[in-house]
Amino acid sequence: MYAELLKMVKNKNFYIGAACLLLLVIGAVVTGVKEYNEYVKLLQRIYHHNQNVLALTSPHFAWIGLGGYSFNVLSALYYFLFPLLLSIPLADSIYRDQSSGNLHYQLTRMGRGVYYRRKFLFAYISAFFLFLLPLLLGVVLVNLLTNHWDYSSFSHAYRQLMDGTLQLPDNSFEGEKKTLFSSLLAISPYWYIFVYYVIGGLFAGGYVCLGLAFSLVMKNRYLITLLPQIIYMVCWAVLTITNKLGWDPFNFLVPSQPVEGLSYHKIVIVFALQFMMALGVFWYGVKKNEDVL
């Protein structure tokens, strides 16, 4: 694993992908915090007498994926482009070993089974953390820019909102109720967002491993890198056209829960299908390349 890490940090594509992810996060944070500050000023003028409204107006909505108080283009782009940005440094690692002649050396040094298992595990784990870490940095940046770290007042107000005991001037905050992981949001937004980011990281690893798997059966490096993004976008297009939005990974990976019809079992089923597909293609590719010494 250490050798794989060294190869990754020496790969210029790693810095391209990581830089793009970080720029999207920083841009989304700056935009989200600006929107939050403007929205708070507006509500303070209108609802200055109602502390419940102000408690539900929390800066954590500027965290990546939660949407803020208007559509945040950069936040959405992070969730649209992460399969590509993660695949740029990771999906073609076996292809690079083949092209450089390093594959033969690695197979003779450690054996076929060990080599391919390490490649798969390293790609999955690396994609998981490359997806997760910029988002966690985004949480820290939002908190620093708003000087807000304690979200207990929001969670208390949210519990009352779910119980129907929160006194509000109208029903405009009914949309704050979440279908999934609502109990975590009632404990703390930190738990809620962390679970969503971990789920996103698990899917990110799966998409990158799909590209890695297809690199064993394809010879076009650019197609290998683009394939996870193509699969992601084709699923989004097909499920949108057929009005199966609750099954679309984009919609259930985004913490804002942008559509109705989301459920836990859909997330589990889609994740299982994605992971089995990655494993199946990878196993087939390894078998197909058994003659490589």
Over residues 172-204, the pLDDT tens digits come to: 677 788 999 999 999 999 999 999 999 999 999
Q: Percent of the chain at pLDDT above 70?
A: 97
Please give the structure tokens belonging to residue 112.
């076929």
With b for 16 or more beta-carbon neighbours within 10 A and e for fewer, the 179-205 pattern comes to: ebbeebbbebbbebbbebbebbbbbbb
Cα(202)–Cα(205) distance, rounded to whole angstroms? 5
Please give the structure tokens belonging to residue 7.
């190869």
Predicted confidence at residue 288, as pLDDT, reads 83
Cα(173)–Cα(167) distance, rounded to whole angstroms? 11
pTM of the model: 0.93
- 65, 95, 150, 151 from 100: Cα distances, Å: 39, 9, 52, 52
Cα(18)–Cα(227) distance, rounded to whole angstroms? 19
Cα(66)–Cα(46) distance, rounded to whole angstroms? 24
pLDDT at 30 over 60: yes
Please name the residue that has the structure tokens 């403007």: 38
Using the 8-state DSSP alphabet, how is residue 170 labeled?
S
Predicted confidence at residue 159, as pLDDT, reads 92
The angle subtended at Cα 254 by Cα 248 and Cα 260, nearest 5°, is: 60
Please name the residue that has the structure tokens 């940095």: 137
Note the pLDDT tens digit of each residue in 215-250: 999 888 899 999 999 999 999 999 999 999 999 999
Note the pLDDT tens digit of each residue in 56-96: 889 999 999 998 777 889 999 999 999 999 999 999 888 88
Count the alpha carbons within 13 Å of 104 in the hemisphere toward its beta carbon.
4
Predicted confidence at residue 201, as pLDDT, reads 97
Mean pLDDT of 24-28: 97
The least confident of 135-144, 161-170, 181-190, 272-281 is 161-170
Predicted confidence at residue 292, as pLDDT, reads 54
Please provide the DSSP assignment of 239-255 as one string: HHHTT-GGG-HHHHHST
Contacts of 246-251 with CB under 8 Å at 24 or more apart are 249/203, 249/274, 250/79, 250/80
Cα(257)–Cα(79) distance, rounded to whole angstroms? 13
Note whether 217 and 288 are within 8 A (CB): yes
Element (H, E) at 207: helix 189-214
